[in-house]
């Protein structure tokens, strides 16, 4: 059970332990509640109490005269060094309200100045891509930049000019968990979203070292509701423009959130490589889920999953089993050309491939939610596979 929590539609009772039979599995959102049991184990140590008089100021502290907590920035740099997932020494750090806010902050920062004579930047991504790159850019489409569609429309630098392009790359990718690289090349600016570049979800082959990188607390610690993300930016002017965007939009990330995140990052750091290592816990949960889902889906002719291989991880210093945040499901049967609808008929809510500008033969299953959510998902997937009936 999950005492004190709001139950989802499949569970009832004071601690959400009463299971409604034959209920619809909701595997739509990437809500990272798989980490809730970890923080229940560290409930007292991770608690933050903020009295009414505390942290009232716009600025982080009266001494620092800045919106960003210097101490939190220091701890985040330590976390990257300890995990080995990003080179931080030559980067500026810009905080924001979730990494979602950084998408447009960076589009603004990498675009030509609104007064410049140059045409608007084109913002592109390779399908299947995280849809908010499109929806957020389109919301602000205008003089500085416009949504330019998928990279397939533009080819690569050897054939086409890449000046004035901003390419979004997600690595590992949402939805299909692959470690992609930029495709345009040439002079295109690149923003690499590393929301899932943590040992829960992927092996870490080497520290990431792109010019503009985006991270979030939502996926490594699971505190999606605190709304905290940061960018690592090599160029000082780009960092300044991204920072200006955040200042103009929200006057800096919430001081309450920064204080809570400081406590959370310190606990993560203090437990690295010990028996309460959050990445060992997270990887264990996620690889077990992936293995169980694969075992059932491997009996199916109707649906299949992306292929993932065990890989060497520099954090664990060994070969680790795959543990993606999402399953990218393909419907194999001619008649299931809308995979989202096909799964919905089997009482599984997913996110359609069409949203990611991929074929509707694909749909995304979130594997990040609570154990209870995952159990319901396994029940419905097992029902679907068991209902397949072939004349051999
Ligand atoms: N980027 C990617 C690739 C994501 O999947 C998500 C969350 N689903 C985000 C950014 C946004 O996360 P947040 O705003 O919580 O930091």
Question: What pLDDT, in 10s, does the model give residues 245-280?
Answer: 999 999 999 999 999 999 999 999 999 999 999 999
Instruction: Report how far residue 371's alpha carbon sits from residue 219's, in angstroms, rounded to the nearest whole number.
Output: 16
Do the beta carbons of residue 259 and residue 50 sit within 8 Å? Answer: yes
Among the three residues 242, 271, 300, which one is the final residue of a domain in this structure?
271
Question: Is residue 60 a part of any domain in this protein?
Answer: no
**CATH number for position 118:** 3.40.640.10
- CA-CA distance, 157 to 167, in Å (whole number)? 12
Residue 216 located in a structural domain: yes
Spatial separation of the C-alpha atoms in residues 32 and 224, rounded to whole Å: 7
**Would you give the distance in Å from CA 90 to the centre of its chain?**
24
Note whether ipTM > 0.95 here: yes
Residues 134, 255: one domain? Answer: yes
Cα–Cα nearest to 220, from 128, 310, 282, 127: 282
Same domain? For 94 and 74 the reply is yes
Q: Which residues pair with residue 19 across a beta bridge?
A: 11
Domain final residue, candidates 271, 291, 326: 271
Do 293 and 231 sit in the same domain of this protein?
Answer: no
Query: Per-residue pLDDT for 62 more than 60?
Result: no
Domain identity same for 90 and 212: yes
pLDDT digits 0-9 by tens, 115-133: 777 889 999 999 999 999 9
Task: Assess whether pLDDT exceeds 90 at residue 28.
Answer: yes
Q: Are residues 97 and 30 in the same domain?
A: no
DSSP string, 43-95: HHHH-----TTTT-SSSS-TTT-SSS-HHHHHHHHHHHHHHT-B--TT-EEEE
Identify whether 196 is part of a domain. Answer: yes
Ligand 1 proximity of 224 Cβ (cutoff 6 Å): yes
- Asked whether residue 285 falls in the same domain as residue 250, the answer is no
Does residue 172 have its Cβ closer than 6 Å to ligand 1?
A: no
Average pLDDT over residues 242-246: 95
Poorest-confidence range of 43-52, 54-63, 97-106, 214-223? Answer: 54-63
**Same domain membership, residue 243 and residue 198:** yes
Same structural domain, 266 and 305: no
Residue 311 sits in a domain whose CATH number is 3.90.1150.10
Q: Is the pLDDT score of 23 beyond 60?
A: yes
- What is the 273 CA–ligand 1 centroid distance (Å)? 26
How many folded domains does the chain comprise?
2
Q: Which of 271, 305, 332 is the last residue of a domain?
A: 271
Ligand 1 pocket test target in 29, 104, 130 with most atoms within 8 Å of CB: 130
Same domain, 231 and 263: yes
Ligand 1 centroid from CA 63, angstroms: 32
Task: Look at the alpha carbons of 12, 18, 24, 25 in this order and tell me if their dihedral is positive or negative.
Answer: positive
Neighbour-count burial of 311, counting CB atoms closer than 10 A to its CB (0-12 exposed, 13-18 middle, 19+ buried): middle
Residue 83: phi, psi to the nearest 5? Answer: -80, -25
Specify if 45 maps to a domain: no
Predicted confidence (pLDDT) per residue in 175-232, tens digit: 999 999 999 999 999 999 999 999 999 999 999 999 999 999 999 999 999 999 999 9
Residues 244, 239: Cα–Cα separation, whole Å: 9
**Residue 152 domain boundaries:** 70-271
* Contact yes or no for 129/357 (Cβ under 8 A): yes
Question: Is residue 46 in a domain?
Answer: no
Q: Is residue 174 part of a domain?
A: yes
Please tell me the predicted confidence (pLDDT) of residue 175: 98
Confidence of residue 11 (pLDDT cuts 50, 70, 90): confident
Are residues 293 and 239 located together in one domain of the fold? no
Same domain, 182 and 262: yes
Among 303, 310, 344, 340, smallest CA distance to 324 is for 310
Q: How far apart are CA 213 and CA 360, in angstroms?
A: 30
Substitution site in 33, 195, 202, 213 for ligand 1 pocket (most atoms within 8 Å of beta carbon): 195
> Cis omega (within 30 of 0) on the bond before 238?
no
| 2 within a domain of the structure (yes/no) | no
Q: Do 181 and 259 sit in the same domain of this protein?
A: yes
Strand pairing of 362-366 and 303-304?
unpaired
Q: How far apart, in whole angstroms, are the C-alpha atoms of residue 161 and residue 164?
A: 9
User: Is 47 within a domain?
Assistant: no
Mean pLDDT calculated for residue range 360-385: 97
């Amino acid at each position: 059970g999950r005492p004190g929590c709001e139950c989802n539609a499949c569970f009832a009772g004071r601690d959400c332990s009463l299971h409604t039979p034959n209920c619809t599995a909701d595997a739509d959102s990437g809500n990272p509640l798989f980490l809730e049991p970890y923080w229940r184990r560290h409930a007292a140590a991770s608690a933050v109490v903020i009295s009414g008089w505390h942290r009232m100021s716009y600025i982080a502290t009266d001494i620092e005269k800045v919106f960003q907590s210097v101490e939190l920035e220091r701890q985040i740099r330590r976390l990257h060094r300890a995990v080995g997932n990003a080179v931080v020494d030559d980067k500026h750090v810009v905080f924001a309200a979730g990494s979602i806010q950084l998408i447009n902050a960076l589009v603004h920062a990498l675009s030509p100045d609104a007064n410049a004579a140059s045409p608007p930047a084109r913002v592109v991504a390779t399908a299947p891509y995280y849809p908010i790159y499109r929806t957020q850019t389109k919301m602000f489409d205008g003089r500085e930049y416009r949504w330019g569609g998928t990279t397939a429309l533009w080819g690569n630098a050897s054939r086409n000019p890449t000046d004035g392009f901003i390419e979004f790359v997600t690595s590992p990718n949402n939805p299909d968990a692959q470690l992609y690289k930029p495709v345009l090349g040439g002079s295109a600016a690149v923003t690499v979203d590393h929301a899932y570049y943590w040992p829960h979800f992927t092996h870490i082959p080497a520290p990431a070292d792109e010019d503009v990188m985006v991270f979030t607390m939502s996926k490594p610690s699971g505190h999606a509701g605190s709304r905290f993300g940061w960018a690592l930016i090599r160029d000082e002017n780009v960092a300044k423009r991204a920072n200006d965007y955040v200042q103009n939009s929200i006057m800096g990330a919430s001081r309450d959130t920064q204080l809570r995140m400081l406590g959370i990052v310190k606990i993560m750091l203090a437990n690295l490589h010990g028996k309460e290592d959050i990445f060992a816990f997270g990887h264990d949960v996620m690889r077990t889920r992936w293995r169980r889902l694969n075992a059932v889906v491997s009996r199916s002719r109707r649906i299949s999953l992306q292929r993932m291989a065990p890989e060497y991880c520099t954090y664990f210093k060994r070969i680790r089993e795959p543990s993606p945040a999402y399953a990218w499901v393909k419907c194999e049967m001619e008649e299931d050309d809308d995979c989202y609808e096909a799964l919905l008929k089997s009482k599984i809510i997913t996110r359609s491939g069409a949203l990611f500008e991929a074929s509707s033969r694909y749909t995304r299953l979130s594997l990040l939610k609570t154990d209870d959510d995952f159990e319901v998902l396994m029940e419905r997937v097992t029902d679907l596979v068991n209902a397949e009936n072939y004349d051999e």
